[in-house]
Structure 1
Amino acid sequence: MTFEHHRVVITAAGRDFGRTLALGFAARGAEVHLSARTEEAARRVREEIIAQGHDPARVHAHACDLTDPASVRAFAGAVAARTDHVDVLVNNGSRYQHGTDLLSASDEDIVDTLASGATGTVLATKAFLPLLLKSAKPDIVTMVSGCGEAGNHRSDAHDAFYAAKSAQAGFTESLSRRLRGRGVRVISLYPPDFANHDPLSPAWEDAPRTAQDPLTAQSLVDCVFFAVGQPRDCFIKSFYFEQTGTELTH
């Protein structure tokens, strides 16, 4: 599956799963716009991608603080200055907050967790929607979490993280209904904690993938590529997963 004709925007692509997605999309030929809270972090991933032999003109690094509306608008404006449309927006950015005790997090941590995950997802989608609507194949992919599932109590995440993910789930549910008639597919993933193996490692393709092993980032990437690669009459709305093993990463 290749994406040579796709222009992809990924938030929080400076590390962890955002970086994994960025490397994966670029490896399949997509033009990628990467954001991180600092441009330096986004540039490091850009250099990784270029070092793999990809055209520097098709890999772009941007700063974007999802908790700051002006920063989100600036990010979308910078992308719009380079292209007249975007095919895929990946809402990956969301701060994780650990702790089963509500009192364990400061007010500032709670505000930042909610702002990055919930408000940031809404702002980024709003900012990029005009560019998505100019695409013949627009997709919005949101990395929610099992914490966004109703009745999920399987994570040691803080209540603020549960709140942020529940907000994302409600937003994407509404967005899916409202944008389907305009040809925009809204795809949400609800993974449990998973192992984020480095895609540049030789062991990437050999990562455990049996029923007894924890979910891997490779499997999540495969889900994203599968959904985006479907014909336009196929709307895959959500991916839900059974949790196996212990908590790993978020």
Structure 2
Amino acid sequence: MNFENLTVIVTGAGRGIGKEVARAYAADGAKVVIAEVNKEQGERTAEDIRREGGKALFVPCDVSREEDIIGLVDQTVQAFGTVDILINNAGIANAHAAKFYELSAMEWDNVMNTNARGCFLMTREAAKVMRNNPNGGAVVNISSTRALMSEPDTEAYAAFKGAISSLTHAMAVTLGKDGITVNSILPGWIETGDYSGLREIDHSQHPAGRVGIPGDIAKACLYLTSPANRFVTGAQLVVDGGMTRKMIYEP
């Protein structure tokens, strides 16, 4: 796929899935804006991309702060002229750490404000620019298979992932008239740490035969935002190696 001269914002691009997504777009010719709350991680991602011959700009951004989001989009337009693609990946990594009976209203609000509200605000501001592009734009929201299934004590995490999935089809309908597609990806088990430390049982519970890697999600982003795939909008793409389709019976 060719993203030559398109401008892409990737939030939470300092590590893991977000970093790999940013690298993938840069490798295909895009100008990539690294939006990351952690300055050290964000700068490292941008430096890695430039070292690999790509174009990257790091902009500090906390997606729980509306002013940061507005500033991010303004800086992107100043640097590259427009916004063509937005990948909403940023979120609180340990959003499901608190137990049900100990989960406070403040913790709940922090998760929802950073992750669900941040996704909405980021899309709103980027869409204001995209709607003026000759070819509109494309948005991908990174949700999770946790929007479809759960483990105990994951209420806040499941709620914000479910919200992102619902936001996706709502925004797809709203923004369609402006030439903007909105889709979501629901990753399953994507290992961002030591892949070699995984066990055979970890891989075998996936019909695809292995645990996922960040590159699997990056490829899905490229597909959903390709100018050749404009007919795909409002979709939820599950990328989990078939794990959620496998019935597991406990003895």
Query: If the TM-score is normalised by the length of the shorter chain, which range does it land in?
Result: 0.7 to 0.9
Alpha-carbon contact 2:17-2:215 (below 8 Å) kept: no
CA RMSD in angstroms, aligned pairs only? 2.6
Letter in 2 for 1:121: C
Structure 1 residue runs of 4 or more that deviate by more than 6 Å after TM superposition: none
Q: Distance in 2 between matches of 1:108 and 1:175?
A: 27
1:218 aligns with 2:215: yes
Identity %: 21
Q: Secondary structure at the match of 2:35?
A: strand
Q: Secondary structure at the match of 1:3?
A: coil
Structure 1 stretches lacking a partner, 5+ long: 199-207, 246-250
**What TM-score, normalized to structure 2?**
0.82
Q: Secondary structure at the match of 1:79?
A: helix
Q: Which residue is 1:148 aligned to? A: 147
Letter in 2 for 1:128: A
How many equivalent pairs are there?
A: 232
1:229 Cα deviation after fit:
2.1
Q: Distance in 1 between matches of 2:7 and 2:231?
A: 20
Alpha-carbon contact 1:84-1:131 (below 8 Å) kept: no
Alpha-carbon contact 2:181-2:230 (below 8 Å) kept: no
Q: Distance in 1 between matches of 2:27 and 2:219?
A: 13
Q: Which residue is 1:205 aligned to? A: none
Choose 160-169 or 229-238, whichever is displaced more: 229-238
**What TM-score, normalized to structure 1?**
0.83
Choose 35-44 or 11-20, whichever is displaced more: 35-44
- Tell me which of 132, 135, 142 is aligned to 1:134: 132
Q: Secondary structure at the match of 1:35?
A: strand
Alpha-carbon contact 1:215-1:243 (below 8 Å) kept: no
Structure 2 stretches lacking a partner, 5+ long: 195-202, 247-251
Alpha-carbon contact 1:11-1:90 (below 8 Å) kept: yes
Q: Distance in 1 between matches of 2:152 and 2:74?
A: 37
1:176 Cα deviation after fit:
0.9
Deviations 1:38-62 (A, max 9, x none): 33331111111112123xxx31100
Q: Which residue is 1:19 aligned to? A: 19
Q: Which residue is 2:92 aligned to? A: 95
More helix by share: 2
